[in-house]
Structures are given as C-alpha cells and as structure tokens.
C-alpha cells in the first residue's frame, strides 16, 4: 500500500497519459489544440488520476511527421502557443502533482532546420556539412532496413544543393544527424538543458536505436549509441535531480533492456513486444503469448522500469513478432487493408477490440497490473474510435471528444478549420461518445477507468513488485503474483469469451482472506488445498493477499472508493468481475 510516494523514482509508481497538444483542446478558437486549452483541461486529467503527462512534439516544425520533424529545438510551434504559455502549463501541471514528459528527437531533424539548410550549402568535409550523414553513393550501410516501408524505398536521398546523398532512417524530409560529430552532441545537450532547466521531468528519447551508422551492421543498437547514452545520462545527473529518460527502442526485450545500460543509461524503456501479444492472447484465448514474452524479458533492478502501452500515436507495430504472428494479427485485427500501414495496424483500442466493453476492461486490467508503468493514450479512456481514411497515422490522432457541442467541445472554430475532422460516425461519434456524457453515467468506461487508475495507484506493488507466473491448469486463464515490500497481489484473468473456472495452488497463503482490490470485496479464506475461482467472460480479479499482515486502510467501509461520481457506490455494476 502506498502512503507518501518517494519523489525519486516517481516513474515507478506513475500512470502516464500520452497526449498531443494539437489534439487535446483548442483554447484560442483557431481549430488547433494549444497550451491554453491543455492547461484548462488539467483538472480533468487530475480527476482521471494519472500522475504524468507525456506530450508529443510541440516544437516549430513543418508538421510533415506530426512534429517529429523539428525545425527548432528551443521554442514552441506558434499554432500551439508561446513559450510562456508552455511555462504556465508546466507550473499548473506541477501544482496539481502531475509530472511532465516531453520529446527529445535526437536521431533526425526536419530538412527545414537551419542546421540542415546550412549543411547542404557548406563545402564537403566542413564542420557545418558534417552535422548530417552524406555519401556519394546510395549503396553504403546496405544492411540497414527501411522503417517507413510504405513511403520510402531507400535510406538515402539525393540532395541537388549538396550534390550528395543524405541518410535518413524515416521520411526523406527527416535527415539523420551525424553523431560522429561532437558538435551535434553539444547542440542536443543544449536542448536537454533548456527543457529540463524549465522544469520538465522526463524526456522520451525518440528512435534511439538508430543514432550511429557502421558499415556491415544493421545500424541499430550499436555500442557507440550506448556510449552516447551514458554520456547523456551523466550530463543530466550532474545538473538535475529526479529526472527520467525513457528509451523508445522498438526491439526485442534483450536489445531493449540494453538501453538501461547497467543503470547508467535510461531509467525507463518501452516494452514493445508485449503489446501485440496482449492482443493476440486475447484473440487466441490463450495466456501463452504473454507468459512467453515476459519469460524472455530480463528482470530489472529497482531503479529501472518498463513502460507498457496498448495503443499510442503510431500504428500498432508488428515489427517485434514472428512472420506467423504478424499474419495472424493482420487477419484478426486488420482485415481491411486500409487499416494497415508499414508493418502495423493504424487503429485505436476500442475499434481493435470490436468496441467490446469487457475486452477493453480486461486488457486495461492487464496493462495496469503487469510489471511496468502503464501509459494510456488520450481518448482511449472514453473508448474513442479512429478514422482509417485519414492519411498516414492521422486516423488515431483526431480531436479529443469533450462534449456533444460543436466540434465535440474541442474547438469553437468552424469545422472546416480543424486540423483534423472530429470523429462523427454512428458508433464512435462525438455526439454520443464524449467526456461530458461519460461523466454523467456512473457505469461509463471513463468512470470505470478512474477506479482502475485509483486502485493501481493505491498499491506500490504494481509498479515496484516482482512477478511470478502461476500454472492455472487452464490456458484460457492468466494468473500471476506481484510480490511487493508489504503486499502480495494475485492477478487472475479469463482471456476467453466463455465463463471459465480454475483451481490455483495457493497453499503458501493458507489462512489469508483475499481482498478484491478494485471493489474492496472479501473472498473466501485460502486453505491448504486448491483454491477454486470462476469467472464470467473476460472477467478478472486483482486480489490483495497482504492483509494477513495488516488490514488495508481502503477496506474500511467508511472510506469511499475515490473518483466515483456522486450517488454511486463501489458495488456499482461496471466493476471488474
Ligand atoms: C515516432 C513516430 C515518428 C518516428 C520518426 C517514432 O519513434 O513515434 O511517430 O514518425 O519516430 O520520428
């Protein structure tokens, strides 16, 4: 049970909410979300119970890759506001106890960045030219794969001004910086100091595996990249306290774990391979994909943490699965070819799961209890839909749906001015699916999510405990312990659309009466024999087994389960299982 959370390692206990300023709320009425609008919505985020906000890139940019094509590292895109509006947002977030994580896009810039414009005009071999990676022939580094394979056929593009090819791992308008040039490092460290100096709490290191290029290699995960990260970490530790670096490395667990170094690189790293396996386990009704990938995942020392997610601003990437698994995922989750992009699926959570409320609850129940820090994608807490007819990954980046008012309450502008159309379809349209409506319905997904977030945050064990899988003798049921300092939690989940039963060997807890965490319900005492449990379709339980040691405060019937709307009780329908 958590009481006062330690300030350091805050990311271990965090619930992170990912959002784009542009998509959240338009405070100025010009059709584009901005910092004024986001600041107004901080109370909503506080009520949801999340503890950290991850902001997608909001810097000056031609916006040809939704801001990951940065043209100036030291300012705010004018459409989103000014630096002082950002600072006010940051102050207001901190006042509410919310940490703020921003993007550090290291690997590349926009081709509109002054550094690139200078480089292409500078003489070959000069310091200015060397900010980027050039070649006379497009055959160098031939073993490096093309990542945006639907859009690019090579990692090299000819520049008629420089009269040379430049290297890019993503879009051709995003030239890669040359990390062999120490001046690049100095420039990026200035950006780090700038944003951390303003008080930003964490940095997501975008596309971190691709910083260096070496002939004869895949140009991913090179030792030079790790040496660079150690230097970055030393730099941050020497100047700032309690800041967090989060690696975006879409890699197998062992390679992703390398981004922790020996505790001297990143504090966190996304766990990419678990994500598609949660979806395939749910469709196969079999716990194997989840158990299997977590068994391949190295255990982490106390200071480090995985970041877990279901959906984000990109496609549901299928890079870290086998060819058979990818075929399976496409078949069951993206029959419509328009839902596919690169090596992945461009859909939000609710449409992926056929808008099945119990499946949405179950997969969140797993996200919030598996080892790591959960990351929620904006709009998924109300079950927003997507629009696969918009280009690129824009279908999962539509405006947040606040109410049934004009433009879903997102903006006062004319609909035609919006940066993207609000979803208005008959199932996920803003007229019926919005925050205001869900705040008024006690059993809405939003209110259910608030309870889940609150339950998770009451128990440090979820963020800090070790994990042990149990053999439930029924592959449709996933069962694991989270062992914490003063609580053991048992998670049992029915991955099937049919009712299921299991008998679990819980003899070592004989005499303890499990308490179901979200609702606070007491279950029958554990004996020395098998412990029988039954579930409805997609039902799950989180049990606290620590109450043998001391009764949890939240079991006191006087204590209200937080964030319930007025007039409802913890026994409301809509709670898990
Ligand atoms: C981001 C993508 C982006 C790419 C290139 C990824 O890590 O998540 O949205 O397109 O980097 O910057």
DSSP E strands in 427-514: the ranges are 466-469, 477-483, 488-494, 500-504
Q: Is the pLDDT of residue 574 over 80?
A: no
Provide the pLDDT for residue 576: 38
Provide the pLDDT for residue 188: 97
For the chain, give the percent of residues with pLDDT over 90. 92
- Arithmetic mean of pLDDT, 464-476: 95
Read off the tokens for 343: 């090596």
Provide the pLDDT for residue 569: 40
> Is there a common fold for 15-87+356-363+377-458 and 466-544?
no
Q: Pocket residues for ligand 1 (CB within 6 Å)? A: 65, 68, 105, 170, 206-207, 248, 313-314
What's the pLDDT tens digit per position in 208-243?
999 999 999 999 999 999 999 999 999 999 999 999
Q: Is the pLDDT of residue 327 over 50?
A: yes
Provide the pLDDT for residue 7: 67
Whose C-alpha lies nearest to ligand 1, atom 11?
Answer: 207
- Arithmetic mean of pLDDT, 52-56: 98
**What H or E segment, with its residue span, contains residue 39?**
helix 35-40
**What H or E segment, with its residue span, contains residue 380?**
none
pLDDT band at 561 (very low <50, low <70, confident <90, very high): very low
What's the pLDDT tens digit per position in 288-297?
999 999 999 9
Q: How far is the CA of 319 from the centre of ligand 1 (A)?
A: 14
Provide the pLDDT for residue 570: 40
What angle, 0 to 180 degrees and rounded to 10, lies between the N-to-C axes of helices 357-367 and 274-284?
A: 140
Q: Is the pLDDT of residue 558 over 90?
A: no
Question: Can you state the percent helix, strand and coil of the chain, rounding each to 5?
Answer: 30, 15, 50
Cα distance between residue 77 and residue 67, in whole Å = 9
Q: How far is the CA of 400 from the centre of ligand 1 (A)?
A: 21
How far the first Cα of the chain sits from its last, in Å, is: 22
Query: Is 254 in the active site?
Result: no
Provide the pLDDT for residue 486: 86
Specify whether the CB–CB gap between 269 and 307 falls below 8 A: yes
Mutate which of 69, 173, 207, 208 for ligand 1? The one with the most ligand atoms within 8 Å of its CB, which is 207
Provide the pLDDT for residue 8: 80
Query: Is 248 in the active site?
Result: yes
Provide the pLDDT for residue 472: 87
Atom of ligand 1 nearest to the CA of 69: 12
Atom of ligand 1 nearest to the CA of 248: 7
Question: Strand, coil or helix: what is 552?
Answer: coil
Superfamily for domain range 114-167? Oligo-1,6-glucosidase; Domain 2 (3.90.400.10)
What's the pLDDT tens digit per position in 90-138?
999 999 999 999 999 999 999 999 999 999 999 999 999 999 999 999 9
Provide the pLDDT for residue 547: 52
Q: Is the pLDDT of residue 68 over 50?
A: yes
Provide the pLDDT for residue 563: 42
Q: How far is the CA of 526 from the centre of ligand 1 (A)?
A: 48
Q: How far is the CA of 206 from the centre of ligand 1 (A)?
A: 7
pLDDT band at 525 (very low <50, low <70, confident <90, very high): very high
The domain spans of the chain are 15-87+356-363+377-458, 114-167, 466-544
Specify whether the CB–CB gap between 470 and 260 falls below 8 A: no
Provide the pLDDT for residue 295: 94
Q: How far is the CA of 507 from the centre of ligand 1 (A)?
A: 48
Query: Position of tokens 């405006």?
Result: 399
Q: How far is the CA of 533 from the centre of ligand 1 (A)?
A: 43
Atom of ligand 1 nearest to the CA of 105: 12
Window from 91-95, 271-275, 451-455, 565-569 with minimum mean pLDDT: 565-569
pLDDT band at 6 (very low <50, low <70, confident <90, very high): low
Superfamily for domain range 15-87+356-363+377-458? Glycosidases (3.20.20.80)
Whose C-alpha lies nearest to ligand 1, atom 9?
Answer: 314
Provide the pLDDT for residue 3: 43
Q: Which of 26, 152, 201, 206 is catalytic?
A: 206
186 vs 577, more confident: 186
Atom of ligand 1 nearest to the CA of 107: 12
Mutate which of 22, 59, 66, 68 for ligand 1? The one with the most ligand atoms within 8 Å of its CB, which is 68
Q: Is the pLDDT of residue 168 over 90?
A: yes
Q: In Å, how far are 232, 328, 331, 340, 453 from 335, measured between CA atoms?
A: 43, 10, 5, 9, 33
pLDDT band at 546 (very low <50, low <70, confident <90, very high): confident
Provide the pLDDT for residue 307: 98
Q: Is this structure's pTM higher than 0.85?
A: yes
Q: Does domain 466-544 have CATH number 2.60.40.1180?
A: yes
- Arithmetic mean of pLDDT, 282-292: 97
For the chain, give the percent of residues with pLDDT over 70. 93
Taking all residues of the chain, what is their mean pLDDT, rounded to a whole number?
A: 94
Query: How many residues are listed for the chain in this entry?
Result: 577
Atom of ligand 1 nearest to the CA of 250: 7
The CA-based dihedral angle spanning residues 75, 79, 83, 86, taken in that order and rounded to the nearest 10 degrees: -120
């Amino acid at each position: 049970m958590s009481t006062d959370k330690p300030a350091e390692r805050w990311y271990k206990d965090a619930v992170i909410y990912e959002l784009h300023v542009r998509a959240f709320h338009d405070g100025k009425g010009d059709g584009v979300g901005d910092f004024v609008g986001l600041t107004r919505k901080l109370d909503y985020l506080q009520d949801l119970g999340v503890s950290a906000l991850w902001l997608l890139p909001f810097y000056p940019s031609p916006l040809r890759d939704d801001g990951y094509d940065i043209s100036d590292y030291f300012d705010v895109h004018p459409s989103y506001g000014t630096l002082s509006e950002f600072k006010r947002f940051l102050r207001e977030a901190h006042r509410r106890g919310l940490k703020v994580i921003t993007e550090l896009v290291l690997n590349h810039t926009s081709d509109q960045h002054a550094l690139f414009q200078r480089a292409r005009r500078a003489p070959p071999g000069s310091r200015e030219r060397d900010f980027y990676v050039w070649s006379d022939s497009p055959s160098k580094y031939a073993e490096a794969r093309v990542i945006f394979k639907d859009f690019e056929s090579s990692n090299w593009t000819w520049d008629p001004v420089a009269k040379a090819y430049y290297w890019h791992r993503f879009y051709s308008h995003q030239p890669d910086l040359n990390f062999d040039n120490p001046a690049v490092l100095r420039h990026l460290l200035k950006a780090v100091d700038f944003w951390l100096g303003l008080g930003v709490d964490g940095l997501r290191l975008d596309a971190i595996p691709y910083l260096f290029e070496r002939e004869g290699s895949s140009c991913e995960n090179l030792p030079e990249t790790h040496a660079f990260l150690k230097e970055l970490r030393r730099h941050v530790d020497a100047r700032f306290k309690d800041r967090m670096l989060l690696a975006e490395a879409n890699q197998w667990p062992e390679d992703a774990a390398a981004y922790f170094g020996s505790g001297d690189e990143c504090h966190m790293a996304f766990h990419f391979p678990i994500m598609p396996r949660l979806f395939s386990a749910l469709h196969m009704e079999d716990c194997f994909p989840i158990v299997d990938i977590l068994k391949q995942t190295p255990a982490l020392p106390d200071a480090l943490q995985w970041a877990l997610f279901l959906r984000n601003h990109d496609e549901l990437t299928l890079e870290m699965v086998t060819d058979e698994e990818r075929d399976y995922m496409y078949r069951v989750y993206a029959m419509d070819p328009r839902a596919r992009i690169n090596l992945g699926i461009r859909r939000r959570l609710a449409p992926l799961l056929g808008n099945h409320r119990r499946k949405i609850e179950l997969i969140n129940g797993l996200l919030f209890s598996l080892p790591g820090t959960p990351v929620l994608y904006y709009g998924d807490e109300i079950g927003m839909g997507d629009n696969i007819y918009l280009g690129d990954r824009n279908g999962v980046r539509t405006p947040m749906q606040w109410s049934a008012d004009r433009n879903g309450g997102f903006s006062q502008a004319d609909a035609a001015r919006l940066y993207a159309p609000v979803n208005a379809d008959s199932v996920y349209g803003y007229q019926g699916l919005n925050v205001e409506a869900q705040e008024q319905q006690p059993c809405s997904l939003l209110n259910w999510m608030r309870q889940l977030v609150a339950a998770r945050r009451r128990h440090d064990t979820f963020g800090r405990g070790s994990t042990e899988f149990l053999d439930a003798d029924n592959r449709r049921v996933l069962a694991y312990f989270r062992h914490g300092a003063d609580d053991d939690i048992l998670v049992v989940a029915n991955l099937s659309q049919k009712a299921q039963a299991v008998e679990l060997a819980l003899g070592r807890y004989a005499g303890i009466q499990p308490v179901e965490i979200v609702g606070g319900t007491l279950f029958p005492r554990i004996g020395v024999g098998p412990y029988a449990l039954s579930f409805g379709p997609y039902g799950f339980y989180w049990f606290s087994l620590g109450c043998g040691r001391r009764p949890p405060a939240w079991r006191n019937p006087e204590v209200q389960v937080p964030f319930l709307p007025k007039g409802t009780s913890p026994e409301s329908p809509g709670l898990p299982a």
